[in-house]
Chain A
């Protein structure tokens, strides 16, 4: 078990190293910082961005937009999801909308949002539209997977509604919701940044990426990408943490 673990770790490290080596080789072949800067130059640029005065505000605004979109999606997805999960008629009405939203290209939302909303609202709206259908579908699935016999029994013994919700519904949908959240956040995060690139709000990672591209600062463009990936990793880690806490709580 232990040996397997170290072996897998070794493979991961090698894969990252090979990737960096290929990057280095490619940048050396291109021979121009304007097309592909070397990994070490990109690392230096990343560090220089991190110590910039406006870094926190820039990244903060992007995170805030993402979280706002996320909070909106979560509240609506749980509310509507439970309702649709319990009442089949609601489910029949909501299903086509969710399917449509899930299969609409993100760029269509953005182009429409640019017509409908003010610049600041565009990324939030996009984040909401990409995250909400994924989470809502998962909540509905969670409710529908609940043990019908158990529910019937609880109702037969006149267990109070509050207790049914707390002890049957919430634990039942929790795993579906968390898996929905981790998928949704990955999509939503990328959508926020695309939205920022196209709508150009005053502060934001996407705005900085767009500027870096305009001013031919390719290393800065890649550096902001690295930062975006790191922030995304951080949130994914938070979710896994929350998930394991949830499992512990369920077990106890």
Chain B
């Protein structure tokens, strides 16, 4: 009986200590991101890392997987939605925002040839994936800024809770109007030629602000300890990243083939076609402080919990 108890306690303690391990020394630089535009933007970096033992890339389908690694501080750099970055920072997870790499890849799809007019939006059933997600919040915000009350003047439908469900519905013609992100947009347009991008949410967003920058959607987040211990390695990484972004935009076909062969995204032609409308651009966070502030303010006013209860403070932004 006593022996059994002792064994159980040992097992429990071993399990607990296994769970708490995680904080690691940075021999190799570990970078985590999502398959899709974020990973496409750094495709050349991922290829080069294959013969470089000091850099290790981790690609995931699920944002939650990347977030879990950050919670345990097991990655040095993560490329994720900027809202997730602010949430983690505000909840005390030590990652700072160093740069923005995707400037909005959201479009409203609708009957090809139609010109979007907010005044005529009322009669149209517009499909959005999950309530309270970035596309929903940004679309409703744009409607408000165009003089509409989303609750009364718009007919919003959340019947397809994931982006795959909504993409299938749009491709199959079950839904006529829907807000989607690249590269799904390009995939849908290939399957359903009757649809087209009728509103560029990113450009519409840019027109609302003086700087006319579009949506600072995806952020490069760096671990505070790593930035402090290896500022020159971080600097080198950011410079390489800027170069990769330029290459991807100049040679979308090659970037498409590379993404396909690296397992980032299937279908080289689709990737190539989605690159110009994915707004892959590299800007240091320090250069776009006001834009970030404006962006976060919209989410904060919608629901502070999205950002972890408060606006991120000045020191969230990493500057060398």
Q: How many A-B residue pairs have CB under 8 A?
A: 48
CB pairs A–B below 8 angstroms (20 shown): A26-B19, A29-B16, A29-B17, A29-B20, A30-B19, A30-B20, A32-B71, A34-B93, A35-B19, A35-B72, A114-B162, A114-B165, A200-B130, A200-B158, A200-B161, A211-B305, A215-B308, A216-B88, A216-B308, A217-B305
Nearest-Cβ distance from residue B8 to partner chain A, whole angstroms:
10
- A216 engages B91 (CB within 8 Å): yes
- B159 engages A118 (CB within 8 Å): yes
Q: Which residues on the B side are within 8 Å of A241 (C-beta)?
A: none
Residues A119 and B16 in contact in the complex (CB < 8 Å), given A35-B71, A217-B305:
no
B306 at the interface (CB under 8 A from A): yes
User: Per-residue 0/1 for B300-320: is the Cβ within 8 Å of any A Cβ (1 yes, 0 no)?
Assistant: 000001101000000000000
Complex: how many Å from CA A173 to CA B92?
A: 58
Complex: how many Å from CA A35 to CA B71?
A: 8
Q: Counting chain A CB atoms within 10 Å of each CB, which of B12, B16, B88 scores highest?
A: B16
User: Per-residue 0/1 for B135-174: is the Cβ within 8 Å of any A Cβ (1 yes, 0 no)?
Assistant: 0000000000000000000000011111001000000000
Q: Which residues on the B side are within 8 Å of A215 (C-beta)?
A: 87, 305-306, 308
Please provide the chain A residues from 167 to 217 with a CB less than 8 Å away from any CB of chain B in the complex: 198-200, 202, 211, 215-217
User: Per-residue 0/1 for A102-139: is the Cβ within 8 Å of any B Cβ (1 yes, 0 no)?
Assistant: 00000000000011001100000000000000000000
Chain B residues in the interface with A (C-beta under 8 A): 12, 16-17, 19-20, 71-72, 87-88, 91-93, 130-132, 158-162, 165, 305-306, 308
Q: Which residue of B lies closest to A202 (CB)?
A: B131
Q: Please classify the interface of chain B as helix (H, G, I), strand (E, B), loop, or mixed, using the class held by over half of its residues.
A: loop
Complex: how many Å from CA A30 to CA B306?
A: 24
- B92 engages A34 (CB within 8 Å): yes
Nearest-Cβ distance from residue A148 to partner chain B, whole angstroms:
50
Nearest-Cβ distance from residue B221 to partner chain A, whole angstroms:
15
- B131 engages A200 (CB within 8 Å): yes
Please provide the chain A residues from 47 to 80 with a CB less than 8 Å away from any CB of chain B in the complex: none
The 8 Å CB contact of B16, one of A26, A115, A200, A217, is A26
- A34 engages B71 (CB within 8 Å): yes
Q: Which residues on the B side are within 8 Å of A114 (C-beta)?
A: 160-162, 165
- A199 engages B132 (CB within 8 Å): no
Complex: how many Å from CA A124 to CA B305?
A: 29
Complex: how many Å from CA A114 to CA B159?
A: 8
User: Per-residue 0/1 for A10-33: is the Cβ within 8 Å of any B Cβ (1 yes, 0 no)?
Assistant: 000000000000100110011110
Q: Which residues on the A side are within 8 Å of B160 (C-beta)?
A: 114
Complex: how many Å from CA A115 to CA B93?
A: 37
Q: Which residues on the A side are within 8 Å of B16 (C-beta)?
A: 25-26, 29-30
